[in-house]
Amino acid sequence: MRQGEATPKSGWTGNPLGGVKAPEALTLPDPATRFARTAARLEALSDGHPMMEWLRFMGQLAQAQDAAAREIRPFAGPDQTAVDQLVEARMPPLAADGHRRNRAWRDGLTILLDDINQRSTPQPARAVIAKLRDCQIGALEALADEFLHGAVTDAGAGLYVAAALQVYFTRLAAGLPAASLRLLPQRGLCPCCGSTPVSGVVTASGRTPGTRYLYCSLCATAWNHVRATCITCGETRSLSLKGIEDDSGAIKAETCNECHTYAKMLYQARDMKVDPFADDLATLGLDLLVAEAGWARHAPNPLLLVG
C-alpha cells in the first residue's frame, strides 16, 4: 500500500505483532467546531500582536461564519452514486470550480452579514456589507464564480463571499460518505473539493503522532501527506524549514529549492493549540521574510487573497 492510502480501521501495516498503525487518509470537517475554534484562537493570538485590531476583526468574521454554519438550513450534497463515480474517476466530488451551488450558500452569506453587522465593525466594512445586501442573485453568483476561479475583482465584497463559501463547502464536505473517498493523484489538492491547503499540521497525539495533515483552504477537510516531500512539486531533495528566531518554533515555512515555493507547517509538539486557519493569519511576518528571501507561497489563504 502506498503512503497516505486508506486502510481498514482495524488494519495494520508492517508486522501485525509489532507494527505501526497507518494514519487515517483523510478527516472530514466538523462544522460545529471548525469556525468556533478558529475564532477563539484568533482572539487568543491577537492579544499584544502587532496586527491586533485586524486579527480581532478576522476573529469576528470567524464568529459570523460559526453562526452561519449553525443556522443555515440543512441541504443535500451529491448522492452516493455521484460521489462513487467521481471518486472512481479520481476527481473531487465537490470540485470547487465545477460544483453546481444551491441557494444555501447565499442563505449563509445573509446570516454571516447580519451577524457581523451587529458587532463593532469598522465603517468601511459596513459600507461593503450594505452594498452586498443590495446585490441581486445574479451579481452574488458572479462574485462567487470569480472567487472560485481565482479572478476576484471586488476585494471588499469578495472577503464576505469567500467566508460564506467556506461555510457552504465545509457543510457539504461534512456530509460526504467518508468511507467512499480517496486521496487524489495530485496529493497537494483536497480530495473533497480539489482546492489547495491553507497550511499543514504535524500531529503530536492521536492514532499516529508525527503525521502531517494538510488542511483545505475552502472546505476544511484534512488529508494525509507524507512529510519531507514538497506539496507543490513532490521533490524531496532540497526541502528546508525556515522560522522566526526566538519564537516558539510552532510555525515553520517548508521551502523547496526545486520549485521555489513554500508552505506553512504547524507543529503540535510545540503548541497543542495551533489552528491551521488562525495561525496562518497571525504569522504574516513569516510570509514576508520567506518571500523576501525568494520563495513564493504554495497557494494563498482565500481570506488574504481577497481581503
What is the CATH number for 58?
Answer: 3.90.1670.10
In a domain, 262, yes or no: yes
Greater pLDDT, 305 or 20: 305
What burial class does residue 222 get, using C-beta atoms within 10 Å of its C-beta: 0-12 exposed, 13-18 middle, 19+ buried? buried
Residue 8's pLDDT is 38
212 and 91 share a domain?
no
Among 159, 174, 189, identify where a domain stops: 174
The runs of H, that is alpha helices, within the chain are: 31-46, 52-71, 80-88, 104-117, 123-133, 137-148, 155-174, 278-281, 284-292, 302-306
Q: Is the predicted pLDDT of residue 244 greater than 70, yes or no?
A: yes
Average pLDDT over residues 207-231: 95
List the domain range (segments joined by +) for residue 134. Answer: 31-174
Give the model confidence (pLDDT) of 142-199 as tens digits: 999 999 998 888 888 999 999 999 999 999 999 999 999 999 999 999 999 999 999 9
Average pLDDT over residues 124-133: 90
In a domain, 294, yes or no: yes
Q: Interhelix angle for 123-133 vs 104-117, to 10°?
A: 150
Give the model confidence (pLDDT) of 18-48 as tens digits: 445 788 999 999 999 999 999 999 999 999 9
In a domain, 225, yes or no: yes
Give the model confidence (pLDDT) of 164-176 as tens digits: 999 999 999 999 9
What burial class does residue 181 get, using C-beta atoms within 10 Å of its C-beta: 0-12 exposed, 13-18 middle, 19+ buried? buried
In a domain, 203, yes or no: yes
Among 174, 206, 223, identify where a domain stops: 174
In a domain, 190, yes or no: no
In a domain, 129, yes or no: yes
161 and 54 share a domain?
yes
**Pair 263, 297: CB distance under 8 Å:** yes
Q: Is the predicted pLDDT of residue 292 greater than 90, yes or no?
A: yes
Helix (H) or strand (E) holding 200: strand 197-202
161 and 223 share a domain?
no
CA–CA gap between residue 153 and residue 12 (Å, rounded): 50
Nearest in space to 210 (alpha carbons), one of 273, 271, 269, 272: 269
Domain count, the chain: 2
71 and 167 share a domain?
yes
Among 174, 208, 230, identify where a domain stops: 174
In a domain, 285, yes or no: yes
302 and 221 share a domain?
yes
In a domain, 149, yes or no: yes
pTM: 0.91
As a whole number, the mean pLDDT across the chain is 90
CA–CA gap between residue 25 and residue 103 (Å, rounded): 31
164 and 58 share a domain?
yes
